[in-house]
Copies of this chain bind each other. A is one copy, B any other.
Amino acid sequence: MSCHASKDSLHAVGMKVTKAREVLLRVLEASDHPLTVDEIYDRLAQPRPGRPTIYRNLERFIQEGWAESFVDKNQIQRFLRCGTTEHHHHIHCEKCQRTTELDGCAMTKALSQLERQCGYKVTRHQLQIYGLCPECQKALALK
């Protein structure tokens, strides 16, 4: 999402176009892996928005489907920009931390089978996938 596009998106949902929102979207955009609030804060040039502003806006972004958050293994919340507001998942490289957005959802079939097996009606699900990205696999193979 370019700078211009971010303005349009903000307008489209009735959010005012502010400096804080533009730089926040840009920082999320520029990272290839999910960031903590501290990491976001450190990447913002001064004068930068305060932490409360960062939290408040990230929450808005998530509501709009522009970003997602999850809690990492150190119990810290991490935020990442989504390229689509459709339902999808991500895969995280455990070595270089890179995160790749996956097209669509690979679980549709498995879940409808599950419904028949356990009797529940599935309404939603969350999936975190971890692995090794192609580059890190190559790097390991060369050793």
* A113-125 interface bits toward B, Cβ cutoff 8 Å, 1 = contact, 0 = none: 1110011111111
Report the minimal beta-carbon distance from A38 to chain B, rounded to whole angstroms: 17
CA distance A77 to B73 in the complex (A): 12
The listed residue (B77, B100, B125) touching A118 by CB distance below 8 A is: B100
In the complex this chain forms, how many copies of it are found? 2
A91 within 8 A of B: yes
- Determine the chain B residues whose CB is within 8 A of the CB of A139 once the complex forms: none
The listed residue (B75, B110, B128, B137) touching A126 by CB distance below 8 A is: B128
In the bound complex, do residue A100 and residue B120 qualify as a contact, i.e. CB atoms below 8 Å apart? yes
Q: Given A100-B120, A131-B123, A132-B123, check contact A109 B111 (CB 8 Å).
A: no
Name A's B-contacting residues (CB within 8 A). 71, 75, 77, 91, 93-94, 100, 102, 106-107, 109-111, 113-115, 118-134, 137
